[in-house]
Structure 1
Amino acid sequence: MTAQPRVPGREGKAPARIALIEKNRGAYWDMVNAGALDAGRRLGVTVLADAPEYESLDEQLALVHRYLDEGVDGLAFVATSQTAFTDTVAAGRRRGVPIITMDLDAPDSGRLMYVGMLAPVEMGRQAGRLMLDALGERRKVAVQTGSADAHGATGKLAGFTEVMTAAGVEVVGGDNDGERLDAAERNAHRLLSEHPDIGGFFGVYGYHAPVQARAVEAAGRDDIAIIGFDMLPETVAAIEAGTVRASIWIREYYFGYYAVAALANLARLGDEETLTLLGLRTDDLTGNLLRPQPLVVDRDNVGQFRAWARGLDLESRIAATL
């Protein structure tokens, strides 16, 4: 698919407003938005981040249309569905608005590029390999998820389960908590009660590792290895305390940072010029990917993460949003 030409009159215009339409208002997005705001300040761009309170495809689509109608100069959305946004993207592109995906991709939607993590199933496999290293001879793990539908969640869980099954490790749990912390807490305590022989805990969303750490600590089970995703402040503290063995940081701060930077340049310079500058294609958009390499954070390198976050004053900025 060829990048569409910009609407005449927009070339050279300094972008004023860029919208990020995320999938929910969970704590994970605070770090994404911190990166987006930092890029916006440096590039003179106003960043408008919005999302449904909980994952809702209909509400997401409505927000995309709303911001397009308000005349934003660029838009990024989180593709909770790989197929549902195609008509919406086409409508925005006809208006000359550059549109990209971030965090979750819809490669055939007509978006110009994707900024986000590696394939979710591969991220799940990476978590599975970390879990095997932590389990030793133990052969049962418990898992948690916040969505039964989102391809990011299902992909991570599928990749993790694949590695466990191949190694002969039993996987229990998997009930959907609907991104609600109280439900996640109840599920964690129930799994510990029903399966006292588990050797590990895994969750696909950033809030799962802190939830599991609290449950494990309350049960006095410091022998359970917790492998998680993302680096919420609670996760950092739990890694330092040794309650969480490791967390895969997908560098979500840079999803927001690079998405805003890309959109600012797409709006200023045009599609073909910006994609060429980034080494991306203009004739086939599906493979246009910008994916920061994830980093496994454990007790050996969590101090480096803290120093990075402190340099950007991230913890106080994120705390102010809670």
Structure 2
Amino acid sequence: MTDKKWFLCIGLVMALFFYLFLQFVQQSRQIQHIVNQLKQDKKLENRHIVLIVQELGHPYWQMVANGAIEAAKADNISIEIVGPVRNSVEEQIKLLEKAILSKVDAIIVQGLNDEKFTPIINKAMERGIPTLTIDTDAPNSKRLAYVGTDNMSAGKTLGQLVVQKSGGTGAIGVIIGSESAENQLLRLNGLKTVVSEYKGLRIVDVRASNISMMVAIQQATEMLQKHPDISVMVGTSATDALGILQAMKSLNRNDIAVIGFDNLPETLDAIRIGEIEASVVQQPYWMGATSVHLLRDYFRGQSLPSIQFAEVEILDKTDNNKGMLP
């Protein structure tokens, strides 16, 4: 064998050895990554997170909780769902304080009132408890991330629907879920921003339902009795439009365009038969699931985006393309 052939053979052997070595290193890294992932996932079994909902049993928050529970199950994380029996900011604050004292591994909570909630969210973060805000942000706090709707934008969408359904003229009555919840105030401000651009439109009354359909019925009834010229009614939380409908029926009013929020089964039924003109639909299940998945990623050492906006959709009787109507 000539020297040239000899060196060529040695070169081929070395190249093959180098290739096999690289393959070995790559496979070793992949195996180590899998082992590390398994170790991390094993640690997740001992993680205990708390989701503080606005009201236990409320249909909207039940969808949020369902998403969080399913995600926690998939991620092998323990989750506890707590909340007041009736909507109460004070009770939510007590539950948030209790979660901090219990030294849970993470908290998911609404940032309902910036002045009241921000200091407590900051306390949780300072004590090493990662805290996510859901549905309503606390942007001035040290919260880890926000998962939910862009509520100002959603309010503007409500306003655009009012313009579309009213033709740009008429008196408007509004039922909001709460006078203190930042998400409700942002939706109201978004609605007002659009309405203010039309001289023929005016908001004549705004009242709070305290996210209770019974209260929404009472408030809408009183509003319609005081302002019989109302031609459009808007609800900014899940059961408000349903309460408005009941008030209209009790007063034998069928001349009012109703615009609602979210996609409870009863809301979908009302849209299907034309009692509700349209609804701005959030993604509560997605919010709950995404919040838990983000905490899983955080526990694994990954950095998180500070905001995860959920998309909203407009649902009306003609919207059949996604099969959302029964």
TM-score, structure 2 as length reference = 0.79
How many residue pairs get aligned? The number is 283
Picking from 148, 161, 164, the partner of 1:116 is 148
Give 1:249's aligned residue: 281
Picking from 192, 196, 203, the partner of 1:165 is 196
C-alpha distance in structure 2 between counterparts of 1:20 and 1:204, whole Å: 23
C-alpha distance in structure 2 between counterparts of 1:69 and 1:199, whole Å: 50
Give the 3 Å change call, closer, same or farther, for CA 293–146 of structure 1 in structure 2.
closer
CA-to-partner distance for each residue in 1:228-282, whole Å, 9 max, x for gaps?
1111121111111111111111212111110011112212x12xx232xxxx3xx
* Unaligned segments of structure 1, at least 5 residues: 1-10, 281-287, 311-322
Cα contact 2:235–2:259 (8 A) shared by 1: yes
Give the 3 Å change call, closer, same or farther, for CA 305–83 of structure 1 in structure 2.
farther
Give the 3 Å change call, closer, same or farther, for CA 192–88 of structure 1 in structure 2.
closer
Cα contact 1:251–1:293 (8 A) shared by 2: yes
The one-letter amino acid of 1:51's match is G
Alignment pair present for 1:301 and 2:324? no
Bigger CA drift: 93-102 or 251-260? 93-102
Bigger CA drift: 182-191 or 199-208? 182-191
Q: What secondary structure does 1:199 align onto? A: strand
C-alpha distance in structure 2 between counterparts of 1:302 and 1:34, whole Å: 25
* Unaligned segments of structure 2, at least 5 residues: 1-38
Give 2:164's aligned residue: 133
Cα contact 2:221–2:247 (8 A) shared by 1: yes
C-alpha distance in structure 2 between counterparts of 1:265 and 1:259, whole Å: 10
Give the 3 Å change call, closer, same or farther, for CA 58–192 of structure 1 in structure 2.
closer
Give 1:274's aligned residue: 303
Give 2:309's aligned residue: 291
Give 1:4's aligned residue: none
Give the 3 Å change call, closer, same or farther, for CA 121–105 of structure 1 in structure 2.
same
The one-letter amino acid of 1:57's match is V
Trace 1:42-61 onto structure 2 (pairs within 5 A).
42-61=74-93
The one-letter amino acid of 1:290's match is Q
Give the 3 Å change call, closer, same or farther, for CA 249–305 of structure 1 in structure 2.
farther
C-alpha distance in structure 2 between counterparts of 1:303 and 1:192, whole Å: 35
Cα contact 1:83–1:106 (8 A) shared by 2: no
Cα contact 1:33–1:49 (8 A) shared by 2: yes
* Cα drift, residue 220 of structure 1: 4.2
* Cα drift, residue 218 of structure 1: 4.2
CA-to-partner distance for each residue in 1:20-51, whole Å, 9 max, x for gaps?
11233333211111111121222122221211
Alignment pair present for 1:213 and 2:238? no
C-alpha distance in structure 2 between counterparts of 1:100 and 1:184, whole Å: 29
The one-letter amino acid of 2:262's match is D
Picking from 69, 82, 86, the partner of 1:37 is 69
Alignment pair present for 1:181 and 2:213? yes
Give 2:44's aligned residue: 14
* Cα drift, residue 183 of structure 1: 2.4
Q: What secondary structure does 1:174 align onto? A: strand
Picking from 55, 64, 85, the partner of 1:24 is 55
Give 2:22's aligned residue: none
C-alpha distance in structure 2 between counterparts of 1:50 and 1:97, whole Å: 17
Cα contact 1:200–1:224 (8 A) shared by 2: yes
C-alpha distance in structure 2 between counterparts of 1:162 and 1:198, whole Å: 19
* Cα drift, residue 181 of structure 1: 2.7
In percent, how many aligned pairs have the same letter? 28
C-alpha distance in structure 2 between counterparts of 1:78 and 1:305, whole Å: 30
Q: Which has the higher contact order (CA 8 A, sep 6+)?
A: 1
C-alpha distance in structure 1 between counterparts of 2:120 and 2:228, whole Å: 48
Cα contact 1:75–1:263 (8 A) shared by 2: no
CA-to-partner distance for each residue in 1:184-223, whole Å, 9 max, x for gaps?
2122222333333322110121111111122334444333
C-alpha distance in structure 2 between counterparts of 1:75 and 1:305, whole Å: 35
Structure whose CA Rg is larger: 2
